C-alpha cells in the first residue's frame, strides 16, 4: 500500500509515517523542506520516500501528485496532518490570523484532497484521515471541558479544526453519493493533547499514543466507518 502523510518531517506526522511504514506500507514523507523530508525518510528506512509538498501551494500539490502518479500510479492512504496554530487571546485575534490558520488547516486540506483524489480513485481501498483536535468539539467546548493548554488563546486553531470536521462530513456525504468515490473512507482523528513543537512539548500524550487513532483510521476495513470523528477511545462528539 502507498500512503502519503503531509507535514511528516517531525512530531506527530513523522510518528504516523513510522507506524504506517512498520505495517509494510510504502510511506511518502510529505514536507515543505525537501532536505528535512529526505532526512526523515532515510531515518525511517527503505519503506519511506520523501515528497516535497506545501499544502498552501497549488503548484506544489500538482507536482507532488504527478510525482506519485509517475512512481506508483495510485494512492491508498492520505493523511492530512500538516497544520499550524497561532495562539492569541480571542480579543486580539484578527482576520489575518484566522486566514493564516484556515489557509493551512482547512483550505490546504481541501486542495490536497482535490489534487490526490484521482490517485485515490485508483486504489482498491482508499482511506483519508484528517488530523483534527478534541478542541474542535462544539459539544465538549460548550460544556467547558478542560482539554489542557491555554483555552483562552486557541480561538483560531479550534475554529479551523471545527471547520475541518465539517469538511470531513461533507466529503463523506459526497463520496457516498458517487459510485466512483464510494469506496473512500474519510474520517477526522483527534490524537489528544500530544507533546509537539506546536504546544512547546507541554502535551500530556506521546506522539506514539497520538498516532494510534490516525493509523487505525488509515487501515479501516471495507465496512469501516466514514464521516466520523474519533480518538483512540472511540467516537468523539461533534
Looking at the annotation, which residues are catalytic?
Answer: 157, 161
CA separation for the pair 67, 65 (Å, rounded): 5
Question: Got the DSSP string for 145-206?
Answer: ---SS-GGGBHHHHHHHHHHHHHHHHHHHHHHH-TTTTT-EEEEE---SB-SGGGTT--SB-
Q: Read off the C-alpha cell for 102.
A: 484556515
CA separation for the pair 109, 102 (Å, rounded): 10
β-bridge pairing 234-235 and 229-231:
antiparallel
Amino acid at each position: 500500500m502507498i500512503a502519503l502523510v503531509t507535514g511528516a518531517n517531525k512530531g506527530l506526522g513523522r510518528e504516523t509515517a513510522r507506524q504506517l511504514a512498520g505495517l509494510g506500507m510504502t510511506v511518502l514523507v510529505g514536507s515543505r523542506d525537501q532536505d528535512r523530508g529526505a532526512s526523515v525518510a532515510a531515518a525511517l528506512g527503505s519503506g519511506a520516500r520523501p515528497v516535497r509538498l506545501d499544502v498552501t501551494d497549488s503548484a506544489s500539490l500538482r507536482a507532488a501528485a504527478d510525482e506519485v502518479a509517475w512512481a506508483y500510479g495510485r494512492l491508498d492512504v492520505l493523511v492530512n496532518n500538516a497544520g499550524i496554530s497561532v495562539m492569541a487571546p480571542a480579543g486580539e485575534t484578527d482576520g489575518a490570523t484566522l486566514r493564516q490558520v484556515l489557509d493551512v488547516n482547512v483550505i490546504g486540506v481541501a486542495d490536497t484532497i482535490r489534487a490526490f483524489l484521482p490517485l485515490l480513485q485508483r486504489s482498491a481501498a482508499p482511506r483519508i484521515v484528517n488530523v483534527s483536535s478534541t478542541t474542535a468539539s462544539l459539544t465538549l467546548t460548550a460544556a467547558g471541558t478542560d482539554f489542557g493548554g491555554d483555552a483562552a488563546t486557541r480561538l483560531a486553531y479550534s475554529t479551523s479544526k471545527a471547520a475541518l470536521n465539517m469538511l470531513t462530513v461533507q466529503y463523506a456525504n459526497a463520496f457516498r453519493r458517487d459510485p466512483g468515490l464510494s469506496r473512500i473512507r474519510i474520517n477526522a482523528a483527534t490524537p489528544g493533547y500530544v507533546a509537539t513543537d506546536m504546544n512547546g512539548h507541554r502535551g500530556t500524550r506521546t506522539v506514539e499514543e497520538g498516532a494510534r487513532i490516525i493509523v487505525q483510521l488509515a487501515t479501516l476495513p471495507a465496512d469501516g466507518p466514514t464521516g466520523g470523528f474519533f480518538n483512540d477511545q472511540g467516537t468523539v462528539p461533534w
